[in-house]
Amino acid sequence: MKNISIKLANYASAMNCNIIPDNAGDLCLLERFRDDEGKTIVRLSPQPGDYHAEEKWLDAIASGEAAKMIL
């Protein structure tokens, strides 16, 4: 996996998300949440259209639209 920008890593951390890469190097942000037993889990079912280039994530963060892209 390539290096991820600090801006995207900080955003994912602030939004309580994991950054998941695909084979092409595009990224998907998956929200972490707690199950009924209090364990932190991540839903691992992104579809190919859920992955975006890092530049698209950074543009969405700048425009305030990134939260809509998180699964």
- pLDDT tens track for 15-37: 999 999 999 999 999 988 888 88
pLDDT at 1: 56
Per-residue buried b or exposed e for 1-13, using 16+ beta carbons within 10 Å of the residue's own CB: eeeeeeebeebbe
The model scores a pTM over 0.75? yes
Q: What percent of the chain has pLDDT over 70?
A: 96
DSSP string, 5-41: -HHHHHHHHHTTEEEEE-TTS-EEEEEEEE-TTS-EE
Residue 30 phi/psi, 5-degree rounding, is -115, 125
